[in-house]
Amino acid sequence: MSKALATKHVAAVAIGIGLVLALSFSFATPAKAQTIADLQAMINQLLAQIAALQGGTGSQQTGGLACYTFTRNHSLGNSGGEVMWIQKFLNSVDGTQLATTGAGSPGNETSYFGGLTRAAVSKFQQKYGITPTAGYWGPISRAKANSLCVPGPVTPPGPGPAPVPIGGGLRVQLAVDNPAASTIVKSQGIANLAKFTFTNGTGAAVNVTNLAFKRIGVSTDSDFVNVYLYDGARRLTDPAGISSSNFSFNDSGGLFTVPAGGSISISVRVDIGTTNGNQVGVQLTGVTASAPLDTSVVLPISGNLHLISNATIATATWGTVTPSNGTFAPSNDVTLFQATLTVNNRASWLHSIQFENRGSTKDGDFTNIKLLIKGNQVATGSLVNDKIVFDLSGNPLRLETGANEVRLVGDILGTSGETFDFQVRRGTDILLVDSELNQPLKPDAPTAVTANTVEGVSLSVTKANTSPTENVAVASTGVLWSRFEFRAAGDRLKIEQITVDVDDSVLATDTMDNVRIMLDGVQVGSTADVSADTGTTFSLGSSMILEPGKTHVVEVYGDAKTSAGVNYASADVVDVGVSIATADTEGIASGDRLTSAISEVEGNSRTVTSSTITGTKASGYGNQTIVAGANNAKLGSFTLSTGSTEGVNVNTIGINPT
């Protein structure tokens, strides 16, 4: 051993002993006491890191390569799969050993792809000229490893289990975007401490019903004020309590569901306490689900540690919430929630906000829900299980210091007699990030209000954009004159009668023959004449029931004739409209009627025209020279054209030779 190398080892050992002693004394106080097992694990980790810093110069396995046929890609944070065999292989290659002692050393390989494994893979890539040397075990690295073992893989020496195939159950590992070690801020909200990916290798959906965690790092329970589980921007749980470093989440109905063959990533977010200088982290210690864990999963799985700093984070406070204890008829663009959010200290970025309807109305009672900030629409969404999440993380909205109006607007479809109460239920349901510290704020939730009541039914009747406009031929029958869109809200609405009115620009008495009403393509009521200048009321009984929130198409057909069977004259202009009296409506469940009648809504004006035909010389046939005595000679070519209203039957064509 060279003097320089000996010095390097001595220095490393000295550093390691110093760190161990420092850690031993730092855990001496009761508030930060750890078990002997925890201390030993930390010591082993430090020794492994020291070995990595030494550049892998420890002795290598001398009994040949520990070969395995590698087929899978792996990267930092992965667990299971072929990770253990990657470590065994690298420990057998000169210059790429993970560690000399402890986790990752020969005979102590693990199934977790951590920093030591990435460093060893990077050395392997440097050794064999593989670029980039990022420590990612991909196709090029796999191919090189497999080629070194030609003519074929052999059973690796040393102890260890047989390789475990992937796909037998629920797999758990750190997410690829698990938060790196970072500095967070005391008193901040929902710090993202760890993120875990759950992958379902079975053929059926898997419900995860319990997750158990442990607080890790040089910290105390008081550093964790509230702990939540999040799926992206959506909060999954109420806060969990922590006791003796442990906390858990439990829901017999399922905390979340992992679809068959799919995956879902869950974040552990924590409201941080008021003590700075501590290091906090999260370790997953237990999983209960409707399917067993894949045998490749090794618990616990630890996230990174985060240092709590003493910086001052921005704050935000909510003002009074409206509406409260109001009564609302079903209608469009109703304000469901409105409050002022005041941002203090410095500007913040709005990444997401979640509302929850605590009233008795259901998801289907609302549609076209929009989020407005300072009067500007920034997002739209739909209710799912009484909640609506607006995720702006792809393009966060900057909220300057001062007042910022937050408003939720939507269309109320129903149901009459039920209530709505939209809340930002917890302060952490709005993710505001300090524009300088890049950490979430911890605002309190707005004060709850009294639920509002939906009362009554409503009906919208409009002329459809597709209502016909073209001319109508004289004496036409079964003409589609008008098309309308009916949209009810508040309840299933029965329309017992509709009045159809005809306006003719020439006739003294506006009537029409053989009129019928169609609802979504099916006739309702009987065919009848519109025989009065003020229109005719069609009785529909119970055949027209409109579903709340659904757009129904109502059409009016009739002949281009008066009720006496006389054809409308050419150039007459005719329009057909409908109207509904309040007494002719009824909510199926509520019994409510419209509070105001539907005045006549008219279709487009249509012009009655006679059929026309014109003849012109065909442009493609000019003057001809014909040989005397020729048979079947073509003497002329003409084009006959009709108007756009209808075709013309041609019975006789006269020819006049010139």
Which tokens is 307 given? 């240092």
| Averaged pLDDT score across all residues of the chain | 85
Res 159: pLDDT: 40
Domains 170-309 and 316-454 share a fold: yes
* pTM, full prediction: 0.57
Res 6: pLDDT: 38
Res 45: pLDDT: 47
Res 110: pLDDT: 82
CA angle 574, 577, 583 (to 5 degrees): 155
Give residue-wise pLDDT tens across range 545-562: 999 889 999 999 999 999
Distances (CA, A) of 440 to 278, 288, 348, 436: 18, 30, 9, 11
Which residues have a Cβ under 8 Å from the Cβ of 83 and sit 6 or more positions away?
74, 110, 111, 112, 113, 117
Q: Where are the beta strands (DSSP E) in 363-429?
A: 366-373, 376-381, 387-391, 397-399, 402-412, 419-420, 422-423
Mean pLDDT of 191-211: 95
Q: What is the distance between the alpha carbons of residues 100 and 47, in angstroms, rounded to a whole number?
A: 8
Q: What is the distance between the alpha carbons of residues 110 and 83, in angstroms, rounded to a whole number?
A: 7
Q: Which residues of 592-629 are buried (b: 16+ CB within 10 A; e: fewer)?
A: bbbeeebeebbbbebbbbeeeeeeeeeeeeeeeeeeee
Instruction: Give the class (CATH, top level) of 459-609.
Output: mainly beta
Res 24: pLDDT: 36
Question: Picking from 27-41, 409-423, 529-543, which range would have the lowest pLDDT averaged per residue?
Answer: 27-41
Which tokens is 283 given? 């370790």
Residue 626 banded pLDDT, cuts 50, 70, 90: confident
Residue 137 has pLDDT above 60, yes or no: yes
Q: Where are the beta strands (DSSP E) in 290-331?
A: 301-302, 306-309, 315-318, 327-328
Residue 4 banded pLDDT, cuts 50, 70, 90: very low
Helix (H, G, I), strand (E, B) or coil at 115: helix
Give residue-wise pLDDT tens across range 320-368: 999 999 999 898 999 999 999 999 999 999 999 999 999 999 999 999 9
CATH architecture of 316-454: Sandwich (2.60)
Q: What is the distance between the alpha carbons of residues 559 and 572, in angstroms, rounded to a whole number?
A: 14
Counted residue by residue, the chain has a size of: 658
Q: Which of 104, 49, 111 is nearest to 83 (CA)?
A: 111
Res 549: pLDDT: 86
Res 643: pLDDT: 62
Q: Which residues of 454-473 are buried (b: 16+ CB within 10 A; e: fewer)?
A: bbbbbbebebbeebbeebbb
Res 612: pLDDT: 66
Q: Which is it for strands 206-216 and 279-289: parallel, antiparallel or unpaired?
A: antiparallel
Residue 645 banded pLDDT, cuts 50, 70, 90: low
Decide: 404 and 314 in contact? Cβ < 8 Å.
no
Mean pLDDT of 593-614: 89
Res 315: pLDDT: 96
Give residue-wise pLDDT tens across range 564-594: 999 999 999 999 999 999 999 999 988 899 9
Residue 518 has pLDDT above 60, yes or no: yes
Report the interhelical angle of 115-127 vs 36-53 (nearest 10°).
Answer: 20
Beta-carbon count within 10 A of 652 CB: 4
Q: What is the distance between the alpha carbons of residues 554 and 519, in angstroms, rounded to a whole number?
A: 5
Q: What is the distance between the alpha carbons of residues 369 and 571, in angstroms, rounded to a whole number?
A: 47
Question: Picking from 15-24, 122-131, 337-346, 499-508, which range would have the lowest pLDDT averaged per residue?
Answer: 15-24
Q: What is the distance between the alpha carbons of residues 492 and 588, in angstroms, rounded to a whole number?
A: 5
Which residues have a Cβ under 8 Å from the Cβ of 301 and sit 6 or more positions away?
79, 112, 172, 173, 174, 196, 283, 284
Helix (H, G, I), strand (E, B) or coil at 36: helix
Q: Is 204 exposed, middle or buried (0-12, 13-18, 19+ CB in 10 A)?
A: exposed
Res 151: pLDDT: 47
Give residue-wise pLDDT tens across range 223-264: 999 999 999 999 999 999 899 999 999 999 999 999 999 999
Give residue-wise pLDDT tens across range 269-309: 999 999 999 999 999 999 999 999 998 899 999 999 999 99
Amino acid present at 595: T
Residue 28 banded pLDDT, cuts 50, 70, 90: very low
Res 80: pLDDT: 72
How many CA atoms does the CB half-sphere of 269 hold within 13 Å?
Answer: 27
Decide: 530 and 563 in contact? Cβ < 8 Å.
yes
Instruction: Give the class (CATH, top level) of 170-309.
Output: mainly beta
Residue 412 banded pLDDT, cuts 50, 70, 90: very high
Helix (H, G, I), strand (E, B) or coil at 48: helix
Res 82: pLDDT: 84
Q: Which of 75, 210, 191 is nearest to 428 (CA)?
A: 191
Mean pLDDT of 591-602: 93
Residue 533 banded pLDDT, cuts 50, 70, 90: confident
Q: What is the distance between the alpha carbons of residues 86 and 72, in angstroms, rounded to a whole number?
A: 10
Res 239: pLDDT: 94
Any idea where the domains of the chain sit in the sequence?
A: 3-148, 170-309, 316-454, 459-609
